[in-house]
Chains A and B, each alone.
Chain A
């Protein structure tokens, strides 16, 4: 017990308080500068861009993963090769974000019009008569091309959790509904979805936490260029830019922290309920 407590103290509890303290200090963490780092952040265009992009990620990625995960889990339950299909869709979970970035950078690879396209996305578009594009350099929309990578990885997680939850639905309930003449679609929306509501929340929060911290993908694909900056990458940048600015870096980290606080409170409430049971 003791070593665990010491490590938690040194690596998590002390740093959290230290980061909060540093956010009120200058770049070397020596002089108290009040809220000037926060003022800087709110006026910095990169920071604003990051906040907007993080919001975009937070809306799109968990939603899409949950939707796709549930769809795939439901479909895979109905076909004989479902287990095989799930294995293939789950596989990206094992791949690093950097590895996945290489995979997708290759998919998005762009060659000038008229050349043979070696990226499959542009090749398909050219095949159907369209023009090739440098996808990751198109402002705003490139965010979505980066999100695709995260969705590609995380849908597998949503899928296996839904699969486990679907199996927990009592067979009698479904049977009864079928005998009463309910269509598969009705069963899905009126029985399965309510049954899964808690699972949906769990998946949502898990992916949300992950998305708040998205870093590797952005660093590897664009390093925040072309309007794709996110908080975690901006923070990393400030940690080392010009010898490192611990004040600004800490301030940005705190904004990431701000995003997980609601989830933290929700987790604590659930933990309390469990204790009282």
Chain B
């Protein structure tokens, strides 16, 4: 029995490591999207939950705010803008030695004035002579910053970087592109499984072939056709209708194939009984097939929805890059070039593009897996 339990331990151990490796990248993305943008650029996301030290350069108030108190001139204020969670560790008054003093301490400036800085960033600057400086004096700080998670980045990308609009565009593409092939596919699948007509097997064999045809084979001719239609009618070649139909075309073979296999697996006797009772094909389809196929529809629909939502190639070819048409994946790809160093924007945008698929996946996981398993077991 001892040997057995050791094997069990190894199973736990290896699986844990694999799961860990699998989850860490996504987790890092999620954490980064919630962090302050200055922190994202400077420290790794795994430090997000501990205190970090940052160097800051700030200025004191201008001489206009000074007041006289007991014969001395005073300027006072707060270098950390009263943010209560931060605290000053070290500070300096020259760039050569930015960590010269430990807060809190009193420093005598070159002109004889006294500068007193406390840990919370509040300072009091006193002098016998009147302050004359126009710009505030530069102070170098080392600030202890607590972990802070914020939704600021989400507001930034959704509102100011056009991701909110892209989100709506993605939905506009994905919903019809899911429903149309499902409906057309269902009728075709029924015809292929229960109606006898000449050439049925040939059509189905063709569909089996089309299943694996790379969609790259279709791009150039269809784009050409779209351009011609666009020129002829004087409209843009790139439109939502165009991409709905394109997605329908590319997704249809798999939809027909899966639905046909499903419908074929339904009990034979049921259809014969219905036929004997005088039901037409249309009635059989509406009253028997559709209600029975709901789970299959769900699986296949989810599969198609996620496929369309996550697609980049078809969107790049058949949709414009203007704000009213650009979808999430395509916008995200643009941002990779535009904001290649702004990881707070990239991570947040990526997460926005993942929210819908992740939600669908987590809530409808069973249907999703069923669809995928059926979809891969081709033939």
Chain A residues packing against B (C-beta within 8 Å) = 1, 3-5, 7-8, 10-16, 18-19, 22, 29, 68, 71-72, 75-76, 78-79, 82, 85, 87-99, 101-107, 109, 116-120, 123, 152, 157, 160-161, 164, 184, 202-203, 205-206, 209, 212-213, 215-216, 219-220, 232, 235-236, 239, 246, 249-250, 252-254, 256-257, 260, 263-264, 266-268, 270-272, 274-275
Query: Which of B45, B188, B217, B353 has most A Cβ within 10 Å?
Result: B217
Given contacts A4-B187, A11-B222, A160-B369, contact A253 B28 (CB under 8 A): no
Q: Does B110 contact A (CB under 8 A)?
A: no
Question: Are B376 and A157 touching (Cβ within 8 A)?
Answer: yes
Q: A-B contact count, CB below 8 Å?
A: 280
Partner of B14, one of A75, A98, A157: A75
Whole-angstrom distance between the Cβ of A232 and the nearest chain B Cβ: 6
Whole-angstrom distance between the Cβ of B359 and the nearest chain A Cβ: 9
Mark out the residues of chain B between 282 and 316 whose CB falls within 8 Å of any chain A CB in the assembled complex: 306, 309-313, 316
Interface-lining segment among B91-99, B119-127, B203-211, B266-274: B203-211
Question: Are A160 and B372 touching (Cβ within 8 A)?
Answer: yes
Q: How far is the CA of A95 from the CA of B352 in the complex (A)?
A: 11
Q: Does B178 contact A (CB under 8 A)?
A: no
Question: Are A202 and B377 touching (Cβ within 8 A)?
Answer: yes
Look across to chain B and name the residue whose beta carbon is closest to the beta carbon of A216.
B312
Taking CB atoms, residues of chain B closer than 8 Å to A164 are 373
Look across to chain B and name the residue whose beta carbon is closest to the beta carbon of A252.
B216
Given contacts A11-B250, A117-B44, contact A3 B377 (CB under 8 A): no
Question: Are A120 and B217 touching (Cβ within 8 A)?
Answer: no
Render B4-40 as a binary contact track against A, CB cut-off 8 A, 1 for contact.
0001100110110011001111101100100000001
Partner of A104, one of B25, B204, B213, B379: B25
Look across to chain A and name the residue whose beta carbon is closest to the beta carbon of B195.
A1
Whole-angstrom distance between the Cβ of B125 and the nearest chain A Cβ: 33
Question: Are A268 and B205 touching (Cβ within 8 A)?
Answer: yes
Chain B residues packing against A (C-beta within 8 Å) = 7-8, 11-12, 14-15, 18-19, 22-26, 28-29, 32, 40-46, 184-185, 187-188, 191-192, 195, 201, 203-224, 245-246, 248-250, 252-253, 256, 306, 309-313, 316-317, 328-329, 332-333, 336, 343, 346-347, 349-350, 353-354, 357-358, 360-361, 365, 368-369, 372-373, 376-379
Whole-angstrom distance between the Cβ of A220 and the nearest chain B Cβ: 5
Taking CB atoms, residues of chain A closer than 8 Å to B26 are 91-92, 95, 103
Look across to chain B and name the residue whose beta carbon is closest to the beta carbon of A157.
B372
Question: Are B310 and A97 touching (Cβ within 8 A)?
Answer: yes
Q: How far is the CA of A75 from the CA of B361 in the complex (A)?
A: 23
Question: Are A206 and B376 touching (Cβ within 8 A)?
Answer: yes
Whole-angstrom distance between the Cβ of A209 and the nearest chain B Cβ: 6
Question: Are A103 and B373 touching (Cβ within 8 A)?
Answer: no
Taking CB atoms, residues of chain A closer than 8 Å to B336 are 98, 101-102, 105, 220
Look across to chain B and name the residue whose beta carbon is closest to the beta carbon of A258.
B214
Look across to chain A and name the residue whose beta carbon is closest to the beta carbon of B188.
A4
**23 A-B residue contacts at CB 8 Å?**
A5-B188, A11-B218, A11-B222, A72-B15, A78-B11, A88-B19, A90-B369, A91-B361, A93-B372, A94-B357, A95-B357, A97-B310, A98-B333, A99-B310, A105-B336, A106-B28, A161-B373, A212-B214, A220-B312, A220-B333, A253-B217, A256-B216, A260-B212
Look across to chain B and name the residue whose beta carbon is closest to the beta carbon of A89.
B22
Q: How far is the CA of A206 from the CA of B43 in the complex (A)?
A: 40
Q: How far is the CA of A272 from the CA of B204 in the complex (A)?
A: 11
Q: How far is the CA of A201 from the CA of B16 in the complex (A)?
A: 28
Question: Are B217 and A16 touching (Cβ within 8 A)?
Answer: yes
Taking CB atoms, residues of chain A closer than 8 Å to B224 are 18, 29, 246
Partner of A4, one of B184, B312, B328: B184
Question: Are B24 and A89 touching (Cβ within 8 A)?
Answer: no
Question: Are A98 and B329 touching (Cβ within 8 A)?
Answer: yes
Question: Are B313 and A79 touching (Cβ within 8 A)?
Answer: no
Partner of B214, one of A203, A213, A219, A236: A213
Q: How far is the CA of A75 from the CA of B16 in the complex (A)?
A: 10
Question: Are B368 and A94 touching (Cβ within 8 A)?
Answer: yes
Taking CB atoms, residues of chain B closer than 8 Å to A78 are 8, 11
Question: Are A95 and B210 touching (Cβ within 8 A)?
Answer: no
Partner of A15, one of B15, B22, B221, B309: B221
Partner of B252, one of A8, A88, A184, A254: A8
Q: How far is the CA of A117 from the CA of B41 in the complex (A)?
A: 10
Taking CB atoms, residues of chain A closer than 8 Å to B29 are 102-103, 106
Question: Are B191 and A263 touching (Cβ within 8 A)?
Answer: no
Q: How far is the CA of A88 from the CA of B15 in the complex (A)?
A: 11
A-B pairs, 4 with minimum CB distance: A11-B249, A96-B310, A4-B188, A94-B361
Look across to chain B and name the residue whose beta carbon is closest to the beta carbon of A7.
B249
Question: Are A10 and B376 touching (Cβ within 8 A)?
Answer: no
Taking CB atoms, residues of chain B closer than 8 Å to A7 are 184, 245, 248-249, 252
Q: How far is the CA of A68 from the CA of B17 in the complex (A)?
A: 13
Question: Are B23 and A88 touching (Cβ within 8 A)?
Answer: yes
Q: How far is the CA of A164 from the CA of B370 in the complex (A)?
A: 10
